[in-house]
Structure 1
């Protein structure tokens, strides 16, 4: 049994976050998870007594504050912070109805929340003997698609923030990692499952990579896509444009 750590996973009750929660809880770690749906959070606690659920909406300041306060209330160092929560909404900028509210929500969950939570929780990370913070970005940060311009933009911003934060925290002992998944078999990939990577396998690779202290974890076909983008960017853009 490994030494027990305290791990916070945003969006830890569904999709990739759920598999990461199961993996770390299965290793005996104390896993704090947050999400908007109480029933999904409670389902994770049944088989895993070391999972701590926090119902919080990261799209609003009050939800982010509630999460931070709950983590501090645990009175433990934070060993690993995984920013996994994200939403992807389709946007057509030629149709303006209701667009602004959706844009603000997507920006808040995908970009503002990871930045704000990192800032607020850095003191707890610094109390750990081997602190890590990881950001789940996307290959769409480099090669965007037409239907989700805000999602692509937020992931691009998060990718750049991850690297800049890594520069700032050099010498502090805090490892800053970027996780770039392939298309995963989650609700977000509905209708494209045949090309998607199983989330359980993705979680296994992420846990392994973070355990080794890797700062860049690229899953599935991401490495190939990045190479293609470097050598033939126009072809790469055409390939994902309508994905």
Structure 2
């Protein structure tokens, strides 16, 4: 295929990432996915033998280097880089239930790694005719919840980095998209199925937005939530505080 693209997806073996992998593999693109669990990567390869898996822990510098090295060894540029991998832990600072190692993991995986990977892969993105970097953020970046303050902080940082990076890359041929999904039915949202968006549906909408060249993609109820936050922020905060 003359229009075959190289798509890179972190966390591409489970949840939303797996659905994005499926869509781009079915399109005939070359899809490179990164995940921490070899069995999950093997499951994807059974369904999509053409996918290129890299087993690496992006929260570890050695794992990040392994992933970056594997991408630089590919023949050709990167057309689409989707930063999807994320972790979320509950913390209760008031009760003193805080594990420093989990705080560090959240900050590294959710925020520092996407920033560092983007810097490492810019040379490959610049080689593409028209490249795009995508950050999967969260509505919690703007309206946080009580139980996961560190996760919310990392997603707020990610959204702000996405916008700042977009400013810096103007005129380079590399676009930047900030995706803000509604609550997606994944392991992270277990037990809240009645309030979630399926990973398959979210992936379809994200890909459609990327095909349109959207710089900001908001899914489900996020648009209404952000509108409420602008006109009545205290109500928006109360709504998501215990979510």
TM bucket normalised to smaller: over 0.9
Per-residue deviation, residues 84-122 of structure 1 (Å, max 9, x unmatched):
000010001134466111000010000000000000000
Structure-2 separation of matches of 1:19 and 1:2: 24
TM-score, length-normalised on structure 1? 0.98
Structure-2 separation of matches of 1:44 and 1:127: 28
Q: Which residue of 2 aligns with 1:93?
A: 93
Deviation at 1:187, TM superposition (A): 0.8
SS, match of residue 182 in structure 2 = coil
Q: Which residue of 1 aligns with 2:21?
A: 21
Structure-2 separation of matches of 1:100 and 1:242: 23
Structure-2 separation of matches of 1:96 and 1:242: 19
Q: Which residue of 1 aligns with 2:71?
A: 71
RMSD: 1.1
Deviation at 1:42, TM superposition (A): 1.1
Deviation at 1:47, TM superposition (A): 2.1
Answer yes or no: is the 8 Å Cα contact 2:92–2:98 preserved in 1: no
Deviation at 1:191, TM superposition (A): 1.1
Is 1:207 aligned with 2:220?
no
Number of residues of Structure 1 aligned to a counterpart in Structure 2: 243
Structure-2 separation of matches of 1:37 and 1:28: 25
Structure-2 separation of matches of 1:235 and 1:97: 28
Per-residue deviation, residues 36-92 of structure 1 (Å, max 9, x unmatched):
000000111112122000001011111111100011111320000000000010001
Per-residue deviation, residues 159-198 of structure 1 (Å, max 9, x unmatched):
0000000000001111100000000111111111111011
Structure-2 separation of matches of 1:79 and 1:182: 26
1:3-42 equivalence runs, <5 A = 3-42=3-42
Structure-1 separation of matches of 2:232 and 2:96: 34
Gaps in structure 1 of 5+ consecutive residues: none
SS, match of residue 185 in structure 2 = coil
TM-score, length-normalised on structure 2? 0.98
SS, match of residue 133 in structure 1 = strand
Moved over 6 A (4+): none
1:132-211 equivalence runs, <5 A = 132-211=132-211
Structure-2 separation of matches of 1:213 and 1:36: 30
